[in-house]
Amino acid sequence: MSISDFIQGFIIGSSLIIAIGPQNLYVINQGLKKNYILTVVLLCSLSDSLLIICGIYLSNSLLNLNESLIITMKLIGGIWLILYGINKIKNSNNNIIENQKFKKLSFSKVIFTTLAITYANPHVYLDTVVLLGSISVNFDNKLSFGLGAIISSFLFFFTLGYFSKFLSKYINSKKVWFYIDNVMGVLMLLYGLFFVFMN
């Protein structure tokens, strides 16, 4: 194992994942609502790990990836995010707080939404698979590089999710949640529009 490649994988992985995108917004939202947060962060981390492994394994092929495929991925993901954002805004008045706790979504719905928000997000593929995979060809020990990126992903999602959960005890007003849901919805909508029109 190469410590140098591991550290660089950790740093590069962290720099790519830390930007606030749809997946991170969803993790924050679930953490604040204390809604199956372990499941959410675990699914996000494992999905990220799988995509990192795919990117490194396919790294030589990714350098010649068809541009029209990337554009199609952006369009499909963008449309899904637009619909998700609209739905979030539409339902922002429906938060019911009882004893400072939200009524939880069903476990299956949380799993489906987490996987959808992860795999329908074009940036997950562009940053994690295409960019990270392409960068990995510059390192002698791709395994160490990939492991560093995977560790950074687990650390980031667990910190983001559980820090949001910690903050949730200070946010128990329905009015505050109305604004949080609307901001989250608008950001998702904007991300979707960006992916659709900025090709």
Q: What is the pTM of this model?
A: 0.70
Which residue is listed with tokens 């910190």?
A: 159
Residue range 15-39: mean pLDDT, rounded: 81
Q: What is the pLDDT of residues 68-102, one digit of tens each?
A: 666 776 677 677 778 877 877 887 666 544 434 45
Q: What pLDDT is recorded for position 44?
A: 92
Residue range 157-167: mean pLDDT, rounded: 89
Q: Is 50 exceeded by the pLDDT of residue 143?
A: yes
Domain map (residue ranges) of the chain: 3-197
Mean pLDDT score of the chain, rounded to an integer?
A: 78
Neighbours of 85 (CB within 10 A): 23
Q: Is 50 exceeded by the pLDDT of residue 177?
A: yes
β-bridge mates for residue 101, sequence order: 98
Q: Tell me the Cα Rg of the chain.
A: 18
Q: What 8-state DSSP symbol labels residue 98?
A: E
Q: What pLDDT is recorded for position 104?
A: 63
Burial 19-49 (b: 16+ CB within 10 A, else e): eebbbbbbbbbbbbbbbbbeebbbbbbebbb
Q: What pLDDT is recorded for position 100?
A: 43
Q: How far lies 90's CA from each of 28, 101, 124, 125, in Å?
A: 19, 21, 26, 28
**For the ranges 60-64, 98-102, 117-121, 169-173, which has the lowest average pLDDT?**
98-102
Neighbours of 115 (CB within 10 A): 13
Residue range 17-42: mean pLDDT, rounded: 83
Separation of alpha carbons 9 and 3, rounded Å: 10
Q: What pLDDT is recorded for position 41?
A: 95
Q: What pLDDT is recorded for position 97?
A: 44
Q: What pLDDT is recorded for position 198?
A: 67
